[in-house]
């Protein structure tokens, strides 16, 4: 059986933490910053953690 390949699109968007959780950047950060309120911008700061089925699906794509 050949080796499984890493899904490169997922590898660029998601990172695995030291404990094995999957983190990603939040949405709505791309452009048009002026029209977004500071509250909205603050809420979009930092990283988000995946859980449940979505985390399992991405885990299979990254499979390390």
Mean pLDDT of 42-54: 92
Q: How confident is the model at residue 63 (pLDDT cuts 50, 70, 90)?
A: confident
First to last CA, the chain: 17
Cα distance between residue 30 and residue 41, in whole Å: 11
Q: In this predicted structure, what is the pLDDT of residue 64? A: 67
The whole-angstrom separation of Cα 41 and Cα 27 is 10
Evaluate the CA torsion angle 51, 57, 58, 64 in order and state its sign.
Answer: positive
Contacts 24+ apart (CB under 8 A), 17-20: none
Residue 27 has a pLDDT of: 86
Over residues 25-54, the mean pLDDT reads 91
Q: What is the pLDDT of residues 14-26, one digit of tens each?
A: 999 999 999 999 8
Specify whether domain 8-62 bears CATH 3.40.50.300: no
Query: Region 45-56: what's the mean pLDDT?
Result: 92
């Amino acid at each position: 059986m050949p080796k499984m390949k890493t899904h490169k699109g997922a590898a660029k968007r998601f990172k695995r933490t030291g404990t094995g959780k999957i983190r990603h950047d939040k949405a709505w950060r791309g452009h048009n910053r002026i029209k977004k309120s500071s509250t909205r911008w603050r809420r979009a700061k930092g990283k988000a953690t995946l859980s449940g089925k979505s985390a399992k699906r991405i885990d299979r794509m990254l499979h390390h």
